[in-house]
Structure 1
Amino acid sequence: MAYSFTKMHGLGNDFIVIDGMTSPIDLSSDDVSAMCDRHRGIGADGVIIVRPGQGDGFMDYRNADGSLAQMCGNGVRVTAKFLVDRGYLPPGRDSLRIGTRAGLKEVRFETAGGRLSRATVTMGQPILDPAAIPVHAPVDSDHGGVPYVGALMIPTPWCPATVTCVSMGNPHAVWFVDLESMPDELVRGDRLDSLDLSAIGPYLESHTVFPEKANIEFVTVEPDGLHMRVYERGVGETLACGTGACAVLVAAYLTGRTGPSSAVHLPGGTLHIDYREDGVHMTGPASTVFHGTWE
């Protein structure tokens, strides 16, 4: 069977997007893994099947290993662009609603030449209850009467990792790293890009304290905002992670490292994150790379 697809990305976090709006599409986890293989397939961090559903469309997202994902922030912006650029919205609209496994997400967008160029996604309230994240850890911190897991210490073979746990519909563990105190086998230099994620990323992602695994963010606080790298569960290190950027801002705000709004710099580019009374808002671009057919 042949599938038409569009290769798209949000800040380098790339996806194979398949149109399931008018006909049913069913992919196995092996199909997804084969498509995402960067040497023998198309290559991507995940597959999005855009289906009809509550709102203007449903984002059926699978990680590169074929596992289902509840939420993907960059994927929501990409799905919005797909729906807008393909003409699934009436002319004149500047907003839409996208269904995800973590609920409906409101998206406001800007266009250039009739195509979506930039979008702001209302990501909803962060989830801080340890059982709902989920993480096997007690609440240890409080911010304005809001309890959360703010300083969970996880022993590793290299050094202790102290993380703040947040869910944005998927679990995140945010580690504000002190590069100077890390052992030489993990970091060689004073920049976040010198940190070796190849061993400690998988170790933390699959640690027993996270019953459904977790996305692991490595963060430094700089004068121009928050700088992060991410090791995504079921994928590995990616150039960007929208839910991760939201989790990082929430964790930084709760722990007093920044205000409720900040630029979050990722290897693939910059997202702007606002933590407001109605939840977390994420603003960034989405791009189309090419179209093709997978047989």
Structure 2
Amino acid sequence: MELTFTKMHGIGNDVVVIDGRQRDIALTADQARLIADRNFGIGCDQIMLITASDDADIGLKIYNNDGSESGACGNGTRCVADLVLDPDDTGKLTMDSTGGMLEAWRDGAMIAVDMGVPGLNWQDIPLAHEADTLHVDLGHDGLPPAVMVNMGNPHAVHLVDDAEAIDLAVTGPVLEHHPIFPERANIEFAHPLGENRLRMRVWERGAGITIACGTGACATLVAAARRGIIGREADIVLDGGVLNITWREDDDRIIMRGPSTAVFSGSMTLPDQVRARP
């Protein structure tokens, strides 16, 4: 199968965008892993597959680089919107994703995405059993209880004294696979940098350490606001750059604003059967 694609990134969270509106494209987990492989494929954190939709302007299917499907990718959604919207388009693009209906629009030089209402109940995350999502002790030495948020995918946000001091490569995979998460989870660590500004680092479910995570930035703002550490709008400083997140009071919806960059376009011959590497 011959695939055309556009390689893009949102503050370093790199994605491969495939437009499947004119043809029916179904990727297996093995094929998704090959596309995302940085040595044997194109290389990316996530794959964004645009599809036709009867309910929205476009449909959206998201794959992590381990081949698993994801309900949401905020940075990737901005990239898709930037690609699909005309440069001078002032309207909104509706996207039907696995995690729910999304809207995006141009906001000056940025792309804004309505990420929806965060899930805050333990069933929404989901967790394996009932718990207070504002304080969930994952039993990891030295870490405070996490705040649980669902942004179309599950997040566990740890508000710590110094996010830079966390060994993500060691702590991240352990917490991602904690038994309380039946669907695994994205793991964030954050600390305040001052008024309306937070520093965040992330271990993404199915992707590992990434330099930016849009849904993680949204979840971090929600977690810090619920704890009373910050207000309902803040800049989230990630390794790859800064995202502006607003948690609106009137309808509880999350608006994410940030840049999008197209890197290159190309084509790839994707085998029907992907041979497993030793």
TM-score, with length taken from structure 1: 0.85
Corresponding position of 2:159: 176
Verify the 8 A CA contact 1:137 1:152 in the aligned structure 2: no
Q: Distance in 1 between matches of 2:142 and 2:107?
A: 45
Name the counterpart of 1:155: 139
Tell whether 2:116 aligns with 1:124: yes
Partner of 2:176: 205
Q: What does residue 242 of structure 1 align with?
A: 214
Q: Which residue of 140, 143, 148 corresponds with 1:165? A: 148
Match for residue 283 of structure 1 among 257, 264, 276: 257
The Cα RMSD (Å) is: 1.6
Residues 127 and 167, structure 1, Cα contact 8 Å, conserved in 2: yes
Aligned length: 265
Identity %: 40
What is the CA–CA distance in structure 2 between the aligned matches of 1:194 and 1:294, rounded to whole Å?
Answer: 40
Q: Tell me, what secondary structure is at the counterpart of 1:152?
A: coil
Distance 1:162 1:58, change over 3 A: same
Q: Unpaired segments of 5 or more residues in structure 1?
A: 112-116, 141-148, 180-191
Match of 1:136 among 97, 110, 128: 128
Give distance in 1, aligned partners of 2:107 and 2:256. 14
Quick one: distance in 2 between partners of 1:137 and 1:220?
28
Shift of 1:110: 4.1
Which residue is equivalent to 2:97? 100
Question: Cα offset for 1:106?
Answer: 1.5
Letter of the structure 1 residue corresponding to residue 12 of structure 2:
G
Letter of the 1:229 partner, please give it: R
Counterpart selection for 1:251 from 223, 230, 236: 223
4+ residue runs over 2 A deviation: 91-94, 136-140, 158-161, 192-195
Aligned mates of 2:89, 2:45 — CA distance in 1: 32
Deviations 1:34-68 (A, max 9, x none): 11111222110011111111211111111101111
The match for 2:272 is none
Partners of 2:200 and 2:124 in 1: CA distance: 24
- Gaps of at least 5 residues in structure 2 are 270-278
1:293 to 261, 267, 275: 267
State TM-score, norm by structure 2: 0.90
SS in 2 for 1:154: coil
In the other structure, the counterpart of 1:145 is none
Q: Secondary structure at the match of 1:258?
A: coil
Please give the residue correspondences for 1:39-118 in structure 2 after superposition, counting only pairs within 5 Å. 39-53=39-53, 54-84=55-85, 92-110=89-107, 117-118=109-110
Q: Is the 8 A contact 1:94 1:110 kept in 2?
A: no
State the shift of 1:92 in Å: 4.3
